[in-house]
């Protein structure tokens, strides 16, 4: 049997197969972070398409933690009802639902928002120079992640992922390219990982479900992190997380060479170091996924853009190799 279709667990969460929908911002929320009808069509469609877990797009824990003015938010109790509609509909469609909790830091492009970061260094000339966070302000953001986790639990998510990748706030703390602080949050790797650790600890006070983090394992800069340093960061929080979702880039502007599975070397290295790993990157081909699973490069494969154009990727494959997995309502049409 294809390993793709074997069930597996992240902590105690059973996933029916190894294909996970990657978090992808859709910029379809209103300007207050609320769910719109778009989300109620978009996410359940991928769930009917057969993925085992959907990780909802970066969802902001504060208004100025949004990447754009049309990101989803979870900074108010009023957000809970709409988010619950997404989760309930995804569950009905047979998939599990996670949420990626996020703060954009210096990469926030919301009009008139106060832009914050570990250090007063802009992402590029097109972005505002951020305000360097005080210790008090850092503690407030940690609390915002905790409050978001309380809401995520009320909504009924199956998993929380902390966005520590792509050059957003947590990644800005981790990276020597964006963090030039001289206090306990800057300098060596243990200090630069402190904010991530505090966020995870705060979430764990209120959330005992599966907890993953997304990291940028490679920063594509000679003075930035590679997998070796990323592993040092991960070792600081190993006891707090259940899996690592391995991505790359985004701290500085850099265009890597992209080919099918271009981020899998990093994923494999992290898996070999003893972490459960969700890997991917420009994946298009079921055989490629199957081989990566068979060769123990990843535990789960994430698919992003392929699922935007081809929401039924998993069902199409199941129809060929395991027809009983195709949901009954659709199966009838193949008989
Ligand atoms: C439209 C779009 C939005 C994205 N938004 C997010 C996001 O919210 N959080 C995140 O961690 N990655 C985000 N990503 C990155 C994807 O999760 C994924 O890592 C990337 O697209 C590579 O995988 P793919 O080649 O299968 O698409 C986004 C990618 C795209 C194309």
CA of 40 to the centre of ligand 1 (A): 19
| DSSP output for 181-203 | --STTSSSHHHHTHHHHHHHHHH
State which ligand 1 atom lies nearest to the alpha carbon of 161: 11
**Model-level pTM?**
0.98
| Closest to 71 measured CA to CA, from 59, 53, 79, 54 | 59
Contact 1, 317 (CB under 8 A): no
Closest Cα to atom 26, ligand 1: which residue? 304
Contact 159, 55 (CB under 8 A): yes
Strand-pairing partners, residue 19, are 301
- Three-state SS at 31: coil
- Three-state SS at 280: strand
Closest Cα to atom 2, ligand 1: which residue? 24
Render each residue's pLDDT in the chain as its tens digit; 335 residues: 799 999 999 999 999 999 999 999 999 999 999 999 999 999 999 999 999 999 999 999 999 999 999 999 999 999 999 999 999 999 999 999 999 999 999 999 999 999 999 999 999 999 999 999 999 999 999 999 999 999 999 999 999 999 999 999 999 999 999 999 999 999 999 999 999 999 999 999 999 999 999 999 999 999 999 999 999 999 999 999 999 999 999 999 998 999 999 999 999 999 999 999 999 999 999 999 999 999 999 999 999 999 999 999 999 999 888 888 888 788 887 65
| Closest to 262 measured CA to CA, from 279, 240, 285, 245 | 279
Contact 120, 130 (CB under 8 A): yes
Determine the Cα–Cα distance for residues 96 and 31; give it in Å rounded to an integer: 27
Pocket of ligand 1 (CB under 6 A): 22-25, 57-58, 100, 163, 165-166, 214, 247, 280-283, 303-306
CA of 168 to the centre of ligand 1 (A): 13
Determine the Cα–Cα distance for residues 57 and 59; give it in Å rounded to an integer: 6
CA of 23 to the centre of ligand 1 (A): 6
Domains and CATH numbers, the chain: 3-334 (3.20.20.70)
Contact 93, 47 (CB under 8 A): yes
| Closest to 159 measured CA to CA, from 94, 101, 230 | 101
Going by the DSSP 8-state scheme, the letter that residue 64 receives in this structure is G
Q: 76-110 burial, b if ≥16 CB within 10 A, otherwise e?
A: eeebbebbebbbebbeebbbbbbbbbbbbbbbbeb
């Amino acid at each position: 049997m294809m390993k793709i279709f074997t069930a597996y667990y992240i902590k105690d969460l059973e996933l029916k197969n190894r294909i996970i929908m990657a978090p992808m911002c859709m910029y379809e929320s209103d300007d207050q972070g609320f769910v719109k009808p778009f989300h109620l069509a978009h996410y359940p469609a991928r769930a009917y398409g057969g993925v085992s877990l959907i990780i909802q797009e970066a969802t902001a824990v504060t208004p100025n933690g949004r990447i754009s003015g049309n990101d989803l938010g979870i900074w108010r109790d009023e957000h809970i009802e709409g988010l619950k509609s997404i989760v309930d509909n995804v569950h009905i469609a047979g998939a599990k639902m996670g949420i990626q909790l996020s703060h954009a830091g210096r990469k926030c492009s919301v009009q008139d928002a106060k832009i914050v970061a570990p250090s007063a260094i802009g992402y590029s000339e097109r972005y505002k120079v951020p305000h360097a966070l005080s210790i008090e302000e850092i503690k407030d953001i940690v609390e915002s992640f905790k409050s978001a986790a309380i809401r995520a639990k009320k909504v009924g998510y199956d998993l929380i992922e902390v966005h520590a990748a792509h050059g957003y706030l947590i990644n800005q703390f981790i990276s020597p390219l964006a963090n030039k602080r001289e206090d306990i949050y800057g300098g060596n790797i243990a200090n630069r990982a402190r904010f991530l650790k505090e966020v995870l600890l705060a979430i764990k006070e209120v959330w005992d479900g599966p907890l993953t983090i997304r990291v940028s394992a490679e920063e594509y800069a000679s003075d930035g992190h590679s997998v070796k340093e990323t592993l040092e960061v991960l070792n600081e929080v190993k006891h707090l997380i259940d899996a690592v979702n391995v991505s790359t880039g985004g701290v500085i502007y850099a265009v890597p060479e992209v080919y099918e599975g271009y981020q899998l070397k990093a994923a494999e290295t992290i898996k070999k170091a003893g972490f459960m790993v969700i890997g991917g990157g420009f994946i298009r081909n079921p055989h490629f996924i199957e081989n990566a699973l068979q060769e123990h490069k990843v535990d789960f494969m994430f698919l992003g853009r392929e699922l935007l154009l081809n929401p039924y990727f998993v069902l199409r494959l199941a129809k060929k190799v395991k027809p009983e997995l195709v949901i009954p309502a659709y199966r009838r049409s193949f008989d």
